[in-house]
Structure 1
Amino acid sequence: GGERQRVAVARALINDPKLILADEPTGNLDPANAVMIGELLFSMAEKYKKTLVLVTHDMALASKGDKIYSIKDGMLNEK
């Protein structure tokens, strides 16, 4: 699974987008691969000056973002 996710990150960057959308990029991975993919996404976004919008249930991964939003009771909240 981790190898496929790394390929997906590479495919996302190949056309030099300004925005990377990642929906549960670590959802089906074991903890070690989840950490690796999270680090890869954030480091690539920073290195290549991309905006990363990440949707996740993993608060450890979300906490690496500059801004964190949550949805509770149908309301969008900034943390």
Structure 2
Amino acid sequence: MPTTYQIVALSALDPEGTDTRDEPKLVFPDALKMAQGLKDQGKAFRVFADGEPSGDQLQALRDLGAVEVLPTI
């Protein structure tokens, strides 16, 4: 089963970016697009990974500005 990601923007309602309830689980290419969109909007975001992400995938998300990448809670 592939690793899935939830990209959570930090906001006034969720300043820690930890509420994953309404966030879709995305495969890497879609997660990367979502992260790029948030970066383009100047928004900070946190990433939750469910599975075993590769080092390259983690680095790509960090390069886009992920505050941190955590295992799914």
Same fold (TM > 0.5): no
TM-score normalised according to structure 2 size = 0.41
State the structure with more CA Rg.
Answer: 1
Higher relative contact order (CA 8 A, sep 6+): 2
- Whichever structure has more helix as a proportion of its residues is 1
